[in-house]
Amino acid sequence: MNQITQDKRMNDHKTDFDPLRDVQAGGGPGMRSFIYGHLAPEAFPIADLLAACEQSLREDGSLALQYGPQQGYGPLIDYLRTKIEHDEGLSLGREYLTITAGCAGALDAIARLFTQPGDAILVEAPTYADTLHLFRDHRLRLFQVPIDEKGLIVEATAQRLEELHRAGERPKFIYTIANFQNPTGVTLSVERRKQLIDLVRAHDVRIIEDDVYRDLRYEGEVPPSLFALDESHEAVIRVGSFSKILSPGLRLGWVTAAPQIIERMTNCGLRSMGGGDNPFAAHVVTAFCTRGLLEPHIARLREIYRARRDAALNALARSMPPGVTWTQPRGGFFVWLTLPASLLARQVIAAAEQRGVTCLPGDLFFAEGGGERNLRLAFSYLSPADITQGITALGDAIHSLNG
């Protein structure tokens, strides 16, 4: 489909919406939806990916279409090593990386290979709802620890670990989204990162660091990753992804971790049977990245999403009644609203949907309850104009309920 037809369909809110083909941003026709953290429709470098695809098939077709090496396509691993060295000053051997089917594929493999049903995992409250779903698929038992505007509260984590130890529980992992967290947009402070590393070393528990938003910062610096701060690289399994910086349709991500973790992920039955994850996509992405296209593309994405973030924060400041508060994300895709005590999120969403706007209620993001007065707004998909109008309508809905 050409861009004009696609844009028209977006403006028509896709009356020909087909759920087997299009996920869209949820909410159905005619709705301004803040539900999904989907990429901006104009954020895909389609012409460059077409050229990379053609190059992969022309120059290396019989390799690109073959079963791939179990650890992942070597040149992509090497590209990532260069990127990590450039961005984070970390020099990693190939044995520290593996290519995965996105962050989702990595988390599923980690749960499958390093936990048993019934194991305890600590998660942030709130955290990404689909990770809760994924961990529950593996019959893991989830315990939550609160976060604030500086991310995971380390003292509360220590307390929860102590309580669990007293009850005979030894959690296997702490799962954290340290940068521009989903759903709140908050970032874990450097000081807390260091404290968290000390804590997990003392308690012999590992961190799973979900770092899919690292490159999408709109101001300031991104703090060093937990993986980098843990110089031994023993305590942290870090997961990255091309989903947010290139395309989730490629289903491509990576893990950086200690060599014995990478070795286990590489030599598992799934990969022994099927080879490494998504080799064709890995060839295409390598062709794209090694032509020097990823860095300028990320710079463009930052402009696109910064404008959306600003539109969201400006509209919130203009439209929300007193008593409503929200986070100030410095990157990523999400703003987290807290409603006054008199209002419930689901009641607000029902009123907002009558005004043509929708978003997700906060309770979906808690493993053990909470979030009844919170809303998650994903600002990545809608245009700045739609964001402004959508948030204005949300503000009207809240005013109407406030009396």
Ligand X SMILES: Cc1ncc(COP(=O)(O)O)c(C=O)c1O
SS3 126: coil
For position 104 contacting ligand X by CB under 6 A, the verdict is yes
Our finding on whether 179 is near ligand X (CB under 6 A) is: no
Name residues whose C-beta falls within 8 Å of residue 142's C-beta, 6 or more positions apart in sequence.
Answer: 120, 121, 122, 123, 132, 135, 136, 367, 368
- Rounded CA-CA distance 144/146 in Å is 7
C-alpha closest to that of 304 among 47, 46, 41: 41
Instruction: Determine which residue in the list 98, 144, 182, 225 makes contact with ligand X, applying CB under 6 A.
Output: 182
Answer yes or no whether residue 349 interacts with ligand X by CB under 6 A: no
Q: What is the total count of residues that contact ligand X (CB under 6 A)? A: 13
* Cβ nearer to ligand X, comparing 177 with 265: 177
Query: Is position 128 an interface residue for ligand X (rule: CB under 6 A)?
Result: yes
- Of the ranges 7-15, 88-96, 97-105, 108-116, which one interacts with ligand X (CB under 6 A)? 97-105
- 37 makes contact with ligand X (CB under 6 A): yes
- Is there binding between residue 151 and ligand X (CB under 6 A)? no
**Candidates 184-192, 241-249, 276-284, 383-391; binding stretch for ligand X (CB under 6 A):** 241-249
Q: Least distance from C-beta 261 to ligand X, angstroms?
A: 18
Residue with Cβ nearer ligand X (76 or 343): 76
If one asks whether residue 243 binds ligand X (CB under 6 A), the answer comes out as: yes
177 binds ligand X (CB under 6 A): yes
Measured distance CA(52)–CA(212) in Å, rounded = 23
102 binds ligand X (CB under 6 A): yes
Stretch that binds ligand X, among 18-26, 101-109, 194-202, 223-231 (CB under 6 A): 101-109
| C-alpha span between 40 and 43 (Å, rounded) | 5
- Smallest separation, CB 9 to ligand X (Å): 23
- The answer to whether 44 and 249 have CB atoms below 8 angstroms apart is no
With CB under 6 A as the contact rule, the residue among 144, 241, 319, 383 that binds ligand X is 241
Asked whether position 329 contacts ligand X by CB under 6 A, the answer is no
- Residue 92, classed as helix, strand or coil, is coil
Q: Which two tokens stand for residue 264?
A: 């286990």
31 Cβ contact list (under 8 Å, min separation 6): 13, 353, 356, 357, 358
* Cβ(361)–Cβ(345) below 8 Å: yes
Yes or no: say if 241 and 253 are a contact pair by the CB < 8 Å rule: yes
- Asked whether position 286 contacts ligand X by CB under 6 A, the answer is no
Query: Tokens 């959508």 map to which residue?
Result: 390
Using the minimum distance from each CB to ligand X, give the nearer residue, 349 or 378: 378
Q: If 0-12 CB within 10 Å is exposed, 13-18 middle and 19+ buried, where does residue 189 land?
A: middle
Footprint of ligand X on this chain (CB under 6 A)?
Answer: 37, 102-104, 128, 177, 182, 210, 212, 241, 243, 248, 253
